[in-house]
Amino acid sequence: MERIIIFDTTLRDGEQSPGVGFTTKEKLEIAKQLEKLRVDVIEAGFPASSPGDFEAVREVSREVKNPVITALARAVPSDIKKAGEALREARKGRIHVFIATSPIHMKYKLKKTPAEVLRLAQEGVRMAKEYASEVEFSPEDASRSDPAFLYEVISAAIEEGAGIINIPDTVGYSVPEEFRALIQGIMKNVPDMEKIILSVHCHNDLGMATANSLSAIKGGARQIECTINGIGERAGNASLEEIVMALKTRQDFFEFSTNVNTSEIYRTSRLVSRLTGMPVQPNKAIVGRNAFRHAAGIHQDGVLKETTTYEIMTPSSIGLEEGELVLGKLSGRHALKERLRRLGFRLTDSQFEAVFKTFKELADKKKEVFDEDLIFIVEEQTFHIPEVYSLEYIHTVSGNQILPTATVRIRKKDEVFQEAACGDGPIDAAYKAIDRVTGLKANLLDYSIRSVTGGKDALGEVMVKIETEDGIVTGRGVSTDIIEASAKAYINAINRLIYRREK
Ligand code: KIV
Ligand code: ZN
């Protein structure tokens, strides 16, 4: 069966999600997980956009060897040179050159005539060929471009040596039938298309990114650009898990396969959610918390009789395992080790001991420790942002007839600081007290809380996004006490800020 090439752009377009910014270490962690997921291509970044991104692409090229590593570049010499340098150690590197071809973009953004754009596209691809073994070319805003001009630019890019032509629906404007016709038009009107890989890159502004991508496959596309959890610029990109699971579940209809190891989907989704600070909406297809839950009595009855009555995919196909053993405070190392192994973690002895210690502390607070709890614990233990500040103690007083106050005790290496503050509520008071300790004046941009497990003793997860003069960072805190989780999330964001600043 013919294969669709999965091109993951979580680290490039995904990073363009407002408020998201990965450190090199975070990019590397995601890239390694994408390698386990067996994506074919990883777009690791846009090296000319910042020295940090250059470094991240270089590091991913050095460390991640199975997928093709791609770097984005505008059709300008300095971008292409930077992309080529960042990819130097890649086993297989690809430069992705783009320039806009729609009348709106050419006139208002580029302020260039179509003839100038055509020339820049040709020169860009020609130069990129000197720096990388593979060159991909994208006519940005293709879906709002004049088809005749699009054919001309694509033909020119192929003549210069582009082996992959990517058609972006940059502003998520297209609809499935129209987009399929655009792809068919390109296949028909551009010479030598059969020697080229035709790719699509769809944005989700009208909620049609996945549908447009799948429709493009019917029109002749053989590479899909997508991101984990569908993150990306504005409303995001086509979501990798939706594309892959649609192709797998409806193989009868599409007649294509992918190389993706779908049992790694759930873990990859959790990792990206954690590192971006973007929670996955509960009803998100494939990876949302509710995606495999049945609430209606009729549905539950049906599923108990025969799962296929209401389940078109199994939870295990995306790596969501049903726990057989109940893990709690009586569980020992053996049971925990076995569960971690089934969840796909391979820990060193010292990592395992650290996880076990935290697991025991949590099990003392909760009746049952769920798989989701364990995933959080492991991720926290193995992700090494130095804990410059850590919360030792928090005490808050609040009520509807009292001025909310908080006292915090925070450790910084060998020193311990204690501060108190009043606020609009206990969390506001706690954040003000933490600000007094750290001396940082952070502006809270976003705060969200959710329970990551069920029941009254649920583990609460708080995500915060803060802004300081050094930029925007996210932080995460988990506890059965939501005030403690809130303080931990805030301190986590501050530690990440310090780490980023030092880097
Ligand atoms: O959406 C877009 O057009 C892009 C291009 C750079 C491919 O991200
Ligand atoms: Zn894009």
Say whether 474 sits in a helix, a strand or coil.
strand
The predicted pLDDT at position 440 comes to: 87
| Single-letter amino acid code for the residue at 59 | E
The predicted pLDDT at position 323 comes to: 42
Give me ligand 1 centre to Cα 164, in Å.
Answer: 14
Question: Annotation-wise, does 13 bind a ligand?
Answer: yes
Q: Are 39 and 8 within 8 A, CB to CB?
A: yes
In terms of CATH architecture, what is 2-276? Answer: Alpha-Beta Barrel (3.20)
Taking CA atoms only, the protein residue closest to ligand 1 atom 6 is 98
Question: Annotation-wise, does 146 bind a ligand?
Answer: no
The domain locations on the chain are: 2-276, 292-320, 324-384, 389-502
The predicted pLDDT at position 321 comes to: 66
Residues of the chain with pLDDT under 70: 295, 321-326, 366-367, 372, 376, 379-380, 382-384, 452-457, 503
Q: How far apart are CA 304 and CA 296, in angstroms?
A: 12
Ligand 1 probe mutation, 72, 150, 165, 226, most atoms within 8 A of CB = 72
Taking only the tens place, the pLDDT of each residue in 63-82 is 999 999 999 999 999 999 99
- Gap between the terminal Cα atoms of the chain: 46
Residue 16 phi, psi (nearest 5): -80, 0
| Closest atom of ligand 1 to CA, residue 13 | 8
Say whether 480 sits in a helix, a strand or coil.
coil
Chain length of the chain: 503
Ligand 1 proximal residues by C-beta, below 6 Å? 13, 72, 98, 138, 140, 168, 170, 201, 203
Q: What is the pTM of this model?
A: 0.74
Which of 486, 478, 490 lies closest to 426 in space, CA to CA?
486
Q: Are 410 and 390 within 8 A, CB to CB?
A: yes
CATH number of 389-502: 3.30.160.270
The predicted pLDDT at position 452 comes to: 63
Taking CA atoms only, the protein residue closest to ligand 1 atom 8 is 13
Query: Which one-letter DSSP state was computed for residue 138?
Result: E
Nearest listed ligand to the Cα of residue 100:
1
Which of 90, 2, 84, 98 lies closest to 41 in space, CA to CA?
90
Which of 275, 215, 286, 277 lies closest to 245 in space, CA to CA?
286
Matching fold, domains 2-276 and 389-502: no
Give me ligand 2 centre to Cα 236, in Å.
Answer: 8
Residue with tokens 């001009």: 149
